[in-house]
Chains A and B, each alone.
Chain A
Amino acid sequence: MELTDSNNDLRYMEGFREGKASQALASQLEELGVKLEENQKVVRVMEVCGSHTMAIHRYGIRSLLPDNLKLISGPGCPVCVTDHGFIDTAIELCRRGVIIATFGDLIRVPGSEGSLAQLKGEGGRVEVCYSPLDALALAEKEAQSEVVFLGIGFETTMAPIISLVKRAKEEKLSNLSVLTAFKLVPPALKVLVEDPEVAIDGFLCPAHVSAIIGSDAYSPIVDQYSMPCVVAGFEPLDILLGLKELTEQCCDSKPQLTNQYARVVSNEGNLIAQELIKKYLKVSDESWRGIGVIPESGMVLSDEFAYYDASKRFSLPIPEGKVIPGCRCGEVLKGQLSPPDCPLFGKGCSPESPVGPCMVSSEGSCAAYYRYSRFS
């Protein structure tokens, strides 16, 4: 990939961070705020995805919104919803001499007792990868050892991790397997709408996940629950536009499915990735940290590829982990608690010594608040 010094490469990005257009949108939102005020309404929008949460904080978007438009951060950070049991299993594998290959954010996530980072400090082999294919190179180099890649994520990361399995099979690499905790976004949204304790008026739907599953995947949420769903990109203008659309729909009580990110997301999604997912994976029940087991909300390697499933290879079923006392990540992930209202926030729980995963991941809502919005 060539990084150039020309302005053209950044134009596509900078155009969506432009000041004047953002301020115009902010003043339209302000007007909508007045309208809401007149109708004595408050609109509560959940941004489902961790990347949205981070962008909202990074650009100070909250500071531009009217008071009666509330943003609630949802469970869309894959690291945050990875259950303790998964980390415990990875730690156990590492203790048995397996080399763990993982994306960076996961190594500091606390399991029931300790994290992979601590284990690494004690001499455990934990290697940080930038791409799943780094694990392939690692397995080739360490032919005498077992290498397990930690395959977590939503629909977005499934295809790249599947290509790892595909390559391992093609190259007959028998020392590589994947410990999976894949999660599906739509079933989680359904659980949230059905939970009487979670009051949401609309969803700001993820950008990258939607590029894979297509915007049509949210139709059932709109149709069955009359819940406005707007797919939006991760740039500040995308987000402001998405919020404006959602607020309008709530003002007019006309819930719809709107795709604001049509430059990347199509109605049907990425068919090639979907094909791969269908071939290699099968739907399973999945445990979400803080939320519990959601039926048919995960994916595991299908029987044909079960050989590459680390949990099967090492006969280590992933247990349900113990909840860390005092951590209220579950409520944060469901949007019931704003991070600063957790008694541990900034007092005992900070990015240096995180108690819960929402503080570890760069996309966790507690970390986002801590880093960018600690104004009090």
Chain B
Amino acid sequence: MSDRILLAHGGGGRLSEELIATEILPRFAFGGKQGLPDGVTLNVSESQLVVSTDSFVVNPLFFPGASIGHLAVHGTVNDVSVSGAKVAYLTLALILEEGLPMDTLREILDDIKKASVQCGVEIVCGDTKVVGKGQCDGAFINTTGIGFKYPEFDLSTAHVKEGDVVIVNGTLGDHGMAVMAFRNSMPFQNSPKSDSAAVNELVDQLRPFNNQIKFMRDPTRGGVASVLNEIVSAQGFGIELDEEALPFDKRSRAMSEILGLDLLHSACEGRLLLICSAEIADEVLSLWRDSEVGSGSEIIGKVCGEKDAGRVTLKTTIGGRRIVDMPHGELLPRIC
């Protein structure tokens, strides 16, 4: 391991995984929180609580389609939701840079308020700190979400079996492309827009399906490729995606082609990856497609057996087959 923190340590790929496994888990993981998952289940009297925390340091604070305020709510709400819980409360901690215009702060707070009302979550406590100029990039936000576990679900990769399907609620990789285009002032008009959204409503709709719902995750940094690879890692199954079926926004698609990037590696902020039994797939699709956040839902792949254990593959449009790997290091455009 490098003796300095590299950018790739925060990139959501293998180096991030290694950093967490060697530096963070041994120091902090204990008891019921073994493995520090995105959501942790705590037993509180009769009901089970799910708690999740996340920090938001996006630069710039505002970008096409969303702002740091939206992300701070959606990100944490989604982490709690995909743990199979109804999210109820949020805490909010702000770290602000000296000199940040008051209007900018107001705009961020408005976005937070709007997003939290939209997903029916209450912000119950908060904290504000100000640091000197240059010590943070405008504003950093931390939110912690608390939710009540739905009794209907028993989510675990242990329940996933060959023949199950993978469903996603919309186009892939838009957030990564939107921020990248905006941050680097790329000369595109009609740039991609972030997909930032809360998926709690979609999780709620899955309750009647009980244990037909096997597993859920929200792909963020590192994109769908990262999350799927984490899911299959050390398991007795693999996942095959169908390139024809992958939903992509045309603008993100065009941009990724120009830059030579893979949208499967690009971040999402409003997507839910669901693994469920094939029998209920059509029903899930028609339920989800009725709502705005689920209108782009598609079955994108299937679970394969022993032979493909531990790997994610892609059936390409031309009928070939290749590996879908974790992203490596930073996303870098090709040079020729």
A interface list, Cβ under 8 A from B = 1-7, 9-10, 13, 17-19, 22-23, 26, 50-51, 57-64, 78-79, 103-106, 108, 117, 121-122, 128, 130, 152-154, 156-157, 208, 236-237, 240, 350-352, 361-363, 370-375
Contacts and interface: CB of A to CB of B under 8 A. Distances in A.
Contacts of B257: 13
Contact of A375 (B188, B190, B323, B328): B323
B6 A121 contact: yes
Contacts, number: 138
B230 interface: no
Contact of A130 (B255, B320, B321, B333): B333
B323 A9 contact: no
B121 to A, nearest CB: 32
A50 B334 CA distance: 11
Interface residues of B, number: 43
Interface string B312-330: 0011111111110100111
Contacts of B332: 104-105, 128, 362
B32 interface: no
12 contacts: A5-B190, A59-B322, A78-B336, A104-B335, A108-B329, A128-B332, A154-B336, A236-B317, A352-B8, A370-B325, A371-B323, A372-B325
Contacts of B315: 60
A22 B320 CA distance: 10
Given A2-B188, A9-B254, A58-B322, A19 B335 contact: no
Contacts of B4: 121-122
Given A10-B254, A26-B319, A58-B322, A1 B187 contact: yes
B26 interface: no
A19 B250 contact: no
B165 interface: no
Nearest to A372: B322
Given A3-B190, A5-B251, A121-B4, A60 B336 contact: no
Interface centre among A62, A121, A122, A362 (most CB of B within 10 A): A362
B329 A62 contact: no
A106 to B, nearest CB: 7
Given A1-B189, A23-B318, A352-B328, A6 B323 contact: no
B192 interface: yes
B175 interface: no
B299 interface: no
B15 interface: yes
Contact of A62 (B8, B186, B320): B320
A251 B184 CA distance: 50
A374 B310 CA distance: 12
B2 to A, nearest CB: 8
Interface of B: 2, 4, 6, 8, 13-15, 184, 186-192, 244, 249-251, 253-255, 257, 260, 314-323, 325, 328-330, 332-336
Given A63-B322, A130-B186, A362-B260, 16 more contacts: A3-B254, A4-B254, A10-B254, A18-B317, A19-B244, A51-B334, A51-B336, A57-B322, A60-B320, A79-B335, A105-B335, A121-B2, A121-B6, A236-B318, A371-B323, A371-B328
Given A1-B187, A19-B318, A59-B316, A373 B323 contact: yes
A60 B250 contact: no
B319 A19 contact: yes
B213 to A, nearest CB: 31
A154 B335 CA distance: 11
Contacts of B333: 103-104, 130
Contacts of A237: 318
Contact of B323 (A5, A26, A374): A374
A153 B316 contact: no
B299 to A, nearest CB: 18
A372 B264 CA distance: 13
A57 B254 CA distance: 20
Contacts of B325: 370-372, 374
Q: Across chains A and B, which 8 residue pairs bring their CB atoms closest together, nearest first? A: A60-B320, A22-B318, A104-B332, A351-B328, A103-B335, A3-B251, A60-B322, A372-B322
B328 A7 contact: no
Contacts of A108: 329
Contacts of A79: 335
B189 to A, nearest CB: 4
Contact of A157 (B251, B328, B335): B335
Name the residue among B4, B250, B253 with the largest chain A CB count within 10 angstroms: B250
A354 B247 CA distance: 33
Given A19-B317, A352-B329, A372-B325, A6 B250 contact: yes
